[in-house]
Amino acid sequence: MVTLIHENLNVFYVSGKDDWQKIAKVMTRFANMPEPDYKYDREYVRQVAMADRAFDTTRYEVRLLDKEHLPYIFSNRELSDDTVKTFSPFIFQIRDKKNDRFDGYNVGFPYTNGMTDDVLDYEIRGHGDYKAMAAGTDSTYSAWGVDLSGGMSGKIFFLESAFDAMAFYQINKAKVGKDVDFFPAENVAVFLLLVCMAYRQYAHDTYTSDT
């Protein structure tokens, strides 16, 4: 559907700063949902207001997930060591250097926008039900994505959260194999972003395999 819309954008009479915004607006119309708000003046004001608390990568000490000493949060959710190790390239352990109340490491799911590998945000999960986003970030235009296919996407699944994606894979790995991508989406706006991210990945894979 994304390809069809992209190739016929001129017949939908939508505006946006790029084709991806236009595609998102068309898809919300098909879904009978409110269109995303892309008013530039409002976005400018929001960015100015957040300028003094922008995402600072130096605030966080980041390390790879220790496969020999996996955080308890995974086994507490009945996720096997094998499942966690499969997803480990897309999960980090992070420590907030400015957190005076906790000096340890939490689990961090890195968010990107699908156009680069730059980390724009972290979803932080910790002991109990602790859940937060890294300070100064805006997850509206970024999300956690997992490519188990090694750049050769076969099946794409959208689930509500990172833990849901891992649990789904654990239950269905015999059926889906590793030629698969996962994208958590907790709301419609993020879902549409992820559709575009998945399409970009698909388009890149197709171009690479044809050249």
Give per-residue pLDDT as tens, 6-61: 777 777 777 776 777 777 777 777 666 665 555 544 444 444 444 445 678 888 99
pTM check: above 0.75:
no
From 139, 82, 149, 141, select the one nearest 108 (Cα to Cα): 139
Q: What is the pLDDT of residues 67-90, one digit of tens each?
A: 899 999 999 999 999 999 999 999
Per-residue pLDDT, averaged over 156-166, amounts to: 85
Judged against a pLDDT cut of 80, whether residue 206 lies above it is answered with no
Res 211: pLDDT: 47
Q: What is the mean pLDDT of the chain?
A: 76
Q: What are residue 146's DSSP bridge partners?
A: 182
From 91, 98, 86, 95, select the one nearest 172 (Cα to Cα): 86
Band (pLDDT 50/70/90 cuts) for residue 154 is low
Residue in the structure block whose two tokens are 């915004």 = 21
Contact between residue 124 and residue 92 where contact means Cβ atoms under 8 Å apart: no
Judged against a pLDDT cut of 90, whether residue 152 lies above it is answered with no
